[in-house]
Amino acid sequence: MSAVVRTERRGMVMTLTIDREARRNALNADVAAGICAGLDASEADRGVRAVVLTGAGDKAFCAGGDLQPNAEGTPFTIDAADPRHYVAGLIRRMEACRLPLVARVNGHALAGGFGLVSGCDLVVAREDALLGVTEVKVGLFPMMILPALLRTVPARLLMEMCLTGEPITARAALADRIVNYAVPAAELDAKTDWLLGRITDKSPTGIRLGKQALGKVREMPVDTALEYAQFMLANMARTEDAREGFAAFAAKRAPQWTAE
C-alpha cells in the first residue's frame, strides 16, 4: 500500500489516513494514488462495510494541493501525452465508490482538501476545523474540485467562498449541511464511531446498489430516473439481503446480512 496513505481495518471499517503531517497532509499524485488503492482494497474485502478518510495528526485533514513549482514557476502542468489530472481521477474514484465513504475531519480542510471532504458521502468534523477554497489568494480558482463542491455547497455560499477565498468553520458549515456533525475535538472519534455503527449494521447490498443508483439518478431527467428507479427496486427486491430483511422484519428479529 502507499507510503503516504496508511490503511487500517478495524472490524467492518477501513480507515485511510493521509500520512504527510509535516506537509499538512497536502494532496499530490502519490496521495491520490494511495487513496484510490485504499478504496480498491476496501471494495475487494467483503468484510468491509464502510471507509473512513482522515489525515494524520490534529492540525490538518488536508491543506490542499502540494504547491511545488516547476522550473517555469507553476505547480500545474498538463502532459500532452497523458492529460489526465490526478485530482480528476481521484474525484471520479470517490464518486464510484460502492461503500459509504465518511470524512473524519481532524483539522483544516482547504482547497483540494475541501474537495476531498465534498467527495465523501458523510462528514464528521472538529467544530473548529476550517473549510474552504483559498485558491483565489494565489491567483487560481478551485477548478478540479468544482464538480464535488457544486453537489455539497449551496450556490450562494460556494460563490462567496470561491470569490473571497475565506474559509468557514465546520461549526458554521453545519447550518448548511456541508458537514453532518461538528463536534469538539475530544468527541471526534466517538461521534465518528457512532455514525459508523449506524451504517455498518444495515444491508451492505442495499447500500451498495443504492449508492450506485443515487449517482445515476442524480444525472437523469425525471422520467428516465423514474424508469431506472423502478428497474433497480425490482432487482434489489430479489437480492438475498432483501429476502433476509423481509424475513427478519416479519419475525421481529435482527437481520443477518450476507452482502448478496
110 contact partners, CB below 8 Å, separation of at least 6: 60, 62, 63, 64, 130, 131, 132, 133, 134, 167
| The three cell numbers locating residue 21 | 503531517
Rounded Cα distance between 228 and 241, Å, is 20
Q: Which phi and psi (to 5°) does residue 50 adopt? A: -160, 155
> Active-site residue numbers?
135
Helices and strands counted in the chain (H then E) = 10, 10
CB neighbourhood size of 33 (10 A):
17
- CA atoms within 13 Å, Cβ hemisphere of 127: 10
Rounded Cα distance between 239 and 3, Å, is 38
Rounded Cα distance between 80 and 39, Å, is 28
> How would DSSP label each residue in 71-128?
TTS-S---BTTB---HHHHHHHHHHH--S-EEEEE-SEEETHHHHHHHHSSEEEEETT
Instruction: Please give the DSSP secondary-structure letter assigned to residue 23.
Output: G
Rounded Cα distance between 206 and 241, Å, is 7
